[in-house]
């Protein structure tokens, strides 16, 4: 009975038109396209974190001898806001937001292929220990940087997949 259910599920999925984005592994068109993306420098500590996460996600660091076909330009907006005022006039909570506007530019023609935004935010409790509060702010920034990089790379991969399907 289980085999029949599994077989039926496989047949239904095969007919739905879903295709793996990275079919073919590292030699797939999407993977090759991602490896050909050069990430421009991004200002600030948040920029350094986002750029490193992008390079890791894109697989650029392992792609030797690949000529960049695209350039990724990213501008960040990093805000740390205090709110939740307590009865003793101290801040009880903070919210950190990180927004990225990014453009994927075709190096050969200079044409902007993709122009989008991505964002992430996190809330943190402000505690009596300044060290703990600063550590929470930094951890939030690191996690948001990875999240934004992942969102950017997913959108680029979807765009590149659309180009290879034509």
CA distance 117 to 152: 8
Domains of the chain with CATH codes: 23-161 (3.30.160.150)
pLDDT digits (tens, 9 = 90+) for 68-113: 899 999 999 999 888 767 777 777 888 899 999 999 999 999 999 9
> DSSP code of 87?
T
CA distance 166 to 148: 28
Q: Are 69 and 104 in contact (CB under 8 A)?
A: no
pLDDT digits (tens, 9 = 90+) for 38-57: 999 999 999 999 999 999 99
pLDDT digits (tens, 9 = 90+) for 102-161: 999 999 999 999 999 999 999 988 888 889 989 999 999 999 999 999 999 999 999 888
Residue 19: is its pLDDT beyond 80? no
pLDDT score at 75? 97
Residue 37: is its pLDDT beyond 60? yes
């Amino acid at each position: 009975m289980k085999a029949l259910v599994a077989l039926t599920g496989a047949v239904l999925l095969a007919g739905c038109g879903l295709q793996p984005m990275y079919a073919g592994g590292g030699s797939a068109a999407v993977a090759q396209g991602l490896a050909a993306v050069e990430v421009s420098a991004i200002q600030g500590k948040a920029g350094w974190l986002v750029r490193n996460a992008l390079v890791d996600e894109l697989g650029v660091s392992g792609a030797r001898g690949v000529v960049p076909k695209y350039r990724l330009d990213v501008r960040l907006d990093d805000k740390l806001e205090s709110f939740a005022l307590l009865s003793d006039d101290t801040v009880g909570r903070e919210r950190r937001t990180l927004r990225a506007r990014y453009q994927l530019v075709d190096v050969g023609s200079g044409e902007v292929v993709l122009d989008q935004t991505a964002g992430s935010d996190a809330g943190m409790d402000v505690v009596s220990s300044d060290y703990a509060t600063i550590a929470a702010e930094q951890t939030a920034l690191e996690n948001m940087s990875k999240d934004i990089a992942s969102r950017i790379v997913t959108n680029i991969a979807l765009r590149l997949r659309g180009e290879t399907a034509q």
